[in-house]
Amino acid sequence: MLWASQLFAEDFRAYTKFGLNIGFNEAGTSCRNLDNPKNSGVWLGSQGSCQGAWSEIYTQLYLRNPTHSGAWVRLDSDYSLSLEAAGRPSERPLKVGNRNLFAEVGQFLARDALLWMGKRSYKYENLWVLGMNIANQEAPGFGVYNIEVPQGKVGLAWFHTVSNQASPMQTALDLRYEDIKLGEGKLSLLGIYSETGPTDARTGKERFEPLQGYKLALLYKVWMPSLSHQAALLWGKGLFGGMDSKDSEQGPLIDSNGAWRNYTVFVQGAAPDLYQAVQRSTTFRWGHQLSYNPNGSDWSWNAGLGYQDVNFGGLRFVQDNLIYKRPRMKTIAAVVKPNYSLRSNLEVETTLSYLKVINGLGYRHKAADSGTVQDSLAPVDQRLSGLLVSLNLKPLGRWQQKWSTYLGYSSWNDAIRRDIGRGNYPDRTSGLYAGVSSYWEM
């Protein structure tokens, strides 16, 4: 009856994760990243944790076990439920969704090659100390990866998705050449091309201007017993360039589904100048992170340094019969995270962070001598410094399972702090904040 058992599931694995954060006077950049630059203007999420609670169930169902000879099949699913607190950048505080629902086949094409089809979070790459995303495809598609070639491995994937019901369909082609041996580490090359069509995904009518873009990345990783570091260069254009306007302050687009997060400005004939500027726009990033965990020491260190330069493609605005050209936005970010273990399951984690944004997103900025909010096109330089101290309890001695109590302080530069005090930028706060957070899995 061995043949009959192999027609059904041979192995089933399930993992459950939970998270919770309750905070007081949370810093405005807590949940902000490049997808919400209106409030931060940079990829760095500096202080605290996102307010709310979430749970996740991840399952793996093997229709044929990899331990057997010949091809094997696995079905993956990942469902989540989250509740966001007030003030988060979301219209729906309660969300139910799935990141993964796909099938993967091994030992079918080549010895180690993996073939897949479905919706998945695909080969995510980032510099976590900075919160700098490099590749974050998460959409329905199909592909093959882990194909052995001289000096490395190759992967190819195709995605087809829509960012919301009234947006155009968007397709992406993801090509990677990974694990190239170089010195003590490994080098990876990544290229993504993406385009949108003219058709409204909800009505089927042609009402959008098509848009294209591509992203190129170079990653280098070195892993040693007590020391590891990663470096990345990233450049994007068009859909992965930059976007800025009085009505849609979005900034760099390199991490996201592109300018179609505010799709209405690209309705046919609606904003031709903005459309052309996005097509010409570019974003460049450089980042490096270092992790040091010496054997036998109670101390460990994580650090990151990043730079970003956004060219808005010659975007111009007219206000009071004057023409304003959107200048380049440049950002420097630095983070140092020293950790000290008091005992095997208790540690003190400290985060020192600093970011500076030159020509940040400045619309609706309140001038120091003004009594009312003004729609000003003048960019605003921003600086944010932060100190965060967390006491982490790891009940099972694993980093993925912990309870934290944290206390932090954030400080903006004077111009931004004055605006915060006068009620401008309501999602930003400054000063002391505190909270408790937890994360555990079963």
The amino acid sitting at 232 is A
CA distance 16 to 79: 10
Q: What is the pLDDT along the chain (442 residues), one digit of tens a residue?
A: 333 344 455 678 787 877 776 766 654 444 433 333 333 333 343 333 456 677 888 898 988 777 777 888 999 998 888 776 544 444 566 777 788 999 999 888 877 899 999 999 899 898 888 878 888 888 899 999 999 998 999 999 999 887 666 678 889 999 999 999 999 999 999 999 999 888 887 788 888 889 899 999 999 999 998 999 999 999 999 999 988 765 555 677 777 667 776 677 788 887 788 888 889 999 999 999 999 999 889 999 999 999 999 998 988 776 667 677 888 988 888 889 999 999 888 999 998 888 888 887 655 444 445 444 444 556 778 787 888 888 988 776 555 677 888 888 877 777 666 666 665 554 555 677 777 777 777 6
CA distance 232 to 132: 10
> Closest Cα to residue 68, out of 157, 2, 145, 23?
2
The pTM assigned to this predicted structure is: 0.84
Q: What is the DSSP letter of 260?
A: G
CA distance 342 to 299: 10
> Closest Cα to residue 278, out of 321, 234, 243?
243
Q: What is the DSSP letter of 4?
A: H
- Report CA-CA distances (Å) from 261 to 36, 59, 243, 290: 11, 30, 11, 33
